[in-house]
Structure 1
Amino acid sequence: MCVTDHNPNPANQHPSANGNGTRRSSVSPDTVLNLEQGDPAVFEPYWKKMGDKCTMVISGSQWMSYISDFNNTCWFLEPELEGAVRRLHRTVGNAVVDDDRHIVVGTGSTQLYQAALYALTSPVDLSRSVSCLPLLTTRHIQMRRTISVQGFTDGQYTTITAPVDQEIMYFTFSKSTGHAGSRIGWAIVKDKEIAIKMSKFVELSSLGVSKDSQQRAAKIMGVICDGYQNCKAKNSELFFEHCQKLMAQRWERLREVVERNEFFSLPKYPKEYCLFSGEFNEPHPAFAWLKCEEDIDLEKFLRGCIKVQGRSGRKFGTDQKYVRISMLSKDEVFDQFLERLPTVKAISNGY
């Protein structure tokens, strides 16, 4: 059984301009809140405030060919995007992007992960015999040690304690700026042959990556870097500082709610010195691991009790008492989540 209080303490609610201490919300109390996926809608207001700084005009004759540069390791990588990627990492200092590193572009991190798997296992012909599987497993284990899987570690998620320097590192445009719909990711690869094989996988699976999306990504990254290169953008907040403050506020509000509820807990993260901000910061991850102190299927419970959809810990190889909650939703969705969570007053195994 799940017992809830449908009149939560107004102190849990986020103040707004409507004068009564609650934010006007377009989200109905009956709506199931989808906090399973990391859709970064939280950054949309920032880019609206940027106006036309990131606007692009594309003529009908631009970028019609599949080919960007056949002499490049990744022949469908737009030179503007390669330059923007290297500039962004050098600005933030979260990854080594020396000139001898190869950039491979893909449609998000999933395709690049598959490309890395293909590159590191391509000598194995799985069609010949099941005896190949142990070798594939061994190579996969080696790959997991080789690849550094990165959201964009820029202060909005974790502190930057040193530039990452792994054999294969990959990043996503969605996590670096919030533009998930552009479907852009990139890998920084030490070994040229691995980079060529990864590019071949992208070629075989999607015949390259949209040039329009690449150019848009390059434009937006350039706007971010310009702000830092010019020290302080006039009359506007620098993007990563905005993200750090926004995520810190969300985590603070969530912790306040959870600490008042005996059934749930959150992990604690120690402060670390961040090379980018020059300060000791507590990480503010894009996802919160919510734990129930009782032995229940927390994903099922939250969905049935307060209509919140998270992703079960079982899908990540851990206990069903954990649920991963996205911290990147729109304000009205996040506010609704914080209003619903304190209403849980009792839990039993028969919920």
Structure 2
Amino acid sequence: MVSTEAAVVIDSFVPSTVPASVAAAAAAVAVVVEVEAIKTTESMLTNLNQQSILDFDKGDPTMYEAYWKSIGEDFKITISASEALSYFANPKSFCWFMLPKLEQEIRNLHNVVGNAVVEGRHIVVGNGSSQLIQAALYALAEPLDPSSPISVMSAAPFYSCYPQIAHYMRSGLFKWGGDAHAYDRDDQPYIEMVNCPNNPDGELRGPVVNKANGMLVHDLAYYWPQYTAITKPVDHNIMLFTMSKCTGHAGSRIGWAIVKDSHVAKQMVKFLEISTIGVSKEAQLRAISILEMISTNSCSTNFFEFGQFVMAGRWKTLREALEGTDILQVPNFPPRHCNFKRNYIECNPAYAWMKAQEGINLEEVMKEENIRVRGGGTFGCPSNYARLSILGRDNDFDQFLKKLPSIVKRLAHSKF
């Protein structure tokens, strides 16, 4: 149907002597133009609506863009078309797809920071820590050839992706077993994921179950000086780290495991062989340059000092904005001595684990303010909890702080 305005335009431009077929064609064109105009308007409104939503759900580490932009082109990597053609990086190594230089730089970085024991340990590189979690679960469960899937668990609040990772392949080897606090079996093997500092609440934690048949995987993605005090070099059977949260290069998809047992390390490599035939050499080459730059402190500004400065500033302003109200709370962390900083520092976790009054759905309240967060239910907790990422860009965080009084007011008047 042609609108009245479109019909007037057609009538004014089509003389009476023009054949009816031509006039009909002109009318059809007008209809198309009108429909496209409506679609364009709707698209613009949709885009405006999307732009107004502040996304604090995902831990996308874009706060580090400012640092790496300040570095400029000094550490640009160029790879020729003739490089890195082969599947193999080091055929003599059990982790045959890992570049020897990357293994060296991983060991160097941990020795500089002092957050993990690497001497006499095996390094396995993977496509981010998510793949390495799957590889670790496979490596621990497969040799047992269980008659029923082994329970994988973590203490609530647990990282929200652990259940997804354990369920995703619907494996006969393992399954998600829920909150580790509720596990009461003494006769069955289990795997406990120990996340330290914990995502979402930032707590430094150890295993909860502590039974004879247990196997542990320590997820240490946030055990870096910008998030927490480095109190000691940890030394566990399987320790997982990732470029994403260490340097901010989430898009490179580089993670690594530090593994004590050679058989477990080889089984993890087997999983990586089957799933992706290794890890991109381009990503490894980029990681080599970045890790070397950090461990040698080749930049004018120390990377970890930058990260600690930004995180400390954001937590300070967040606490100041919430001062004087108990309607919305975030955890407090006592200062700890950091061996890397050689001083007492406050912990500044990557996420704010927010708590509202019981009965309130904090995720929904935030959504009403056009703020996307991750609700407590996905972490094994009630709906009055939610996780807010502190890792985004400055402008987004500033906008959130401006909205905070409105959020607190809305929570104060929420019915529950």
Quickly name the TM-score band, shorter chain normalised: 0.7 to 0.9
How big is each residue's C-alpha offset from its partner over 1:170-223, in whole Å with a ceiling of 9 and x where there is no partner?
100011100100000000000000000001101111110000001100101111
Aligned counterparts of 1:74 and 1:311: Cα–Cα separation in 2 = 36
State the SS of the aligned residue for 2:116: coil
Aligned counterparts of 1:284 and 1:143: Cα–Cα separation in 2 = 22
Aligned counterparts of 2:149 and 2:249: Cα–Cα separation in 1 = 40
CA pair 31-313 structure 1, distance change in 2 beyond 3 A:
same
State the SS of the aligned residue for 2:143: coil
Tell me, yes or no, if the aligned pair for 1:154 and 1:276 is still in contact at 8 Å: no
The reply to whether residue 95 of structure 1 matches residue 145 of structure 2 is no
Amino acid at match of 2:349: P
Aligned counterparts of 1:269 and 1:166: Cα–Cα separation in 2 = 24
State the SS of the aligned residue for 1:265: coil
The reply to whether residue 64 of structure 1 matches residue 64 of structure 2 is no
Match of 1:141 in 2: 191
Normalization by structure 2: what TM-score? 0.72
Match of 1:175 in 2: 245
Taking the TM superposition and a 5 Å limit, the aligned residue runs for 1:1-351 are 31-98=52-119, 100-125=120-145, 131=148, 136=174, 138-141=188-191, 146-227=216-297, 236-304=300-368, 306-344=369-407, 345-347=409-411, 348-350=413-415
How big is each residue's C-alpha offset from its partner over 1:253-280, in whole Å with a ceiling of 9 and x where there is no partner?
1111122444201110011000000010
Unaligned runs of 5+ in 1: 1-26
Unaligned runs of 5+ in 2: 1-47, 152-172, 178-187, 195-206, 208-215
Tell me, yes or no, if the aligned pair for 1:73 and 1:102 is still in contact at 8 Å: no
State the SS of the aligned residue for 1:122: helix
- State the number of aligned residues: 314
Tell which has more relative contact order, 1 or 2 (C-alpha 8 A, sep 6+): 1
Normalization by structure 1: what TM-score? 0.84
Match of 2:43 in 1: none
State the SS of the aligned residue for 1:264: coil
Aligned counterparts of 2:308 and 2:391: Cα–Cα separation in 1 = 12
CA pair 299-142 structure 1, distance change in 2 beyond 3 A:
closer
Amino acid at match of 2:129: S
Cα deviation for residue 123 of structure 1 reads 2.5
Aligned counterparts of 1:148 and 1:317: Cα–Cα separation in 2 = 19
Tell me, yes or no, if the aligned pair for 1:30 and 1:307 is still in contact at 8 Å: no
Amino acid at match of 1:106: G
Tell me, yes or no, if the aligned pair for 2:95 and 2:266 is still in contact at 8 Å: yes
Cα deviation for residue 133 of structure 1 reads 5.2
CA pair 139-60 structure 1, distance change in 2 beyond 3 A:
farther
Cα deviation for residue 71 of structure 1 reads 1.6
How big is each residue's C-alpha offset from its partner over 1:223-250, in whole Å with a ceiling of 9 and x where there is no partner?
111217xxxx5xx211001111110000
> Where does structure 1 differ by over 6 angstroms across 4 or more consecutive aligned residues?
27-30
Cα deviation for residue 350 of structure 1 reads 4.5
CA pair 298-184 structure 1, distance change in 2 beyond 3 A:
same
Aligned counterparts of 1:112 and 1:88: Cα–Cα separation in 2 = 19
Tell me, yes or no, if the aligned pair for 2:150 and 2:189 is still in contact at 8 Å: no
Aligned counterparts of 1:108 and 1:338: Cα–Cα separation in 2 = 31
CA pair 29-121 structure 1, distance change in 2 beyond 3 A:
closer
Larger radius of gyration: 2
